[in-house]
Amino acid sequence: MYQEKYKSSASLFSMNYIKKNSIIGIGTGSTILHFIKYLRKLKHCITGVVSSSIHSLNILKKYQFCILNCNNVEKIDVYIDSADEIDYNLMMIKGGGGALTGEKILASKSKQFICIVDDSKIVKKLGKFPIPIEVVPMSVSHIKKKLISLGCFPILRKNFTTDYGNKIIDAYNLKINNVLKLEEKLNSYPGIVTVGLFAKQSADICIISGKLGIKILKKNNKNS
C-alpha cells in the first residue's frame, strides 16, 4: 500500500522535469504506470513519446499520446524509468519486467535519464535482486553454463518471451565487485543480447519517495 503511494509521489514529482515541446522516453513497470497517468495532463504540451516496450506502448495508445518511432528520433530529451535496485552511484539492476533491451536503447539515446523509485529500491550495493539477462533462444544452455562458472545460480524465466522473441535468464547470487566490469564481461558472451546491469547507462537523477518525502540523488553527487 505504502509503496504504491511512494511510487505515485515520485512520479508526480518527476513532472517538474517535463519541458514543453520535449520528446519523452517511457520506461516499463508498475511505477511507470503512475508516471503515465500524470503525464496525460501534459501530453498536449510535449512533442511525443517513445516507448521501451509493447506493454507501455499499449497503455500510451489507450491514453492517446503522440507516439514516435524510436528509429525516427535522433535524441530523446528525457527518459523516465524505474529500477529493481539502484545504488548511490545511480547504477541499477533493471529488467524485472523483461523490457531491459528497449529500456537500455532509450537510455542510450536520451539527453537525461531520470529514475523514479520508492525508497525500498535504493541499496548500498547491487546484487540482492537477480540480474535479468536477455539471450537468444539457442544460447540458453550455453549462457547458463557460463553463469554457473561465475558462481551464480541462473534460472530461465518460465513462459516468458521478450518483445524481440528472446528469453530471460535471471542470475541469482552473482557477486558484483565492479558493476561496469561485470556488465562488460557479460556483454562479451555470444548469445547475450542485453544485461540488466545499467552501469554505462546509469541514471543522471534519481527521485526517491519514502515516508520522509522526496529525496533527489544526482550523478554529480550534489544530492538534496
Mark whether 85 is an active-site residue: no
C-alpha cell at 154: 541462473
Check whether 29 is labelled as a binding-site residue. yes
CA quadruple 153, 154, 159, 164: dihedral positive or negative?
positive
Check whether 211 is labelled as a binding-site residue. no
Check whether 83 is labelled as a binding-site residue. yes
CA quadruple 175, 183, 83, 96: dihedral positive or negative?
negative
CA distance 123 to 128: 9
Phi, psi of 126 (to 5 degrees): -70, 150
Check whether 81 is labelled as a binding-site residue. yes
Question: Which one from 103, 134, 183, 184 is the annotated catalytic residue?
Answer: 103
Check whether 28 is labelled as a binding-site residue. yes
Check whether 47 is labelled as a binding-site residue. no
CA quadruple 143, 145, 151, 153: dihedral positive or negative?
positive
Check whether 82 is labelled as a binding-site residue. yes
Check whether 94 is labelled as a binding-site residue. yes
Check whether 31 is labelled as a binding-site residue. yes
Check whether 121 is labelled as a binding-site residue. yes
Q: Which residues are catalytic?
A: 103
> Which residues are part of a known binding site for substrate?
28-31, 81-84, 94-97, 121
> Which residues are part of a known binding site?
28-31, 81-84, 94-97, 121
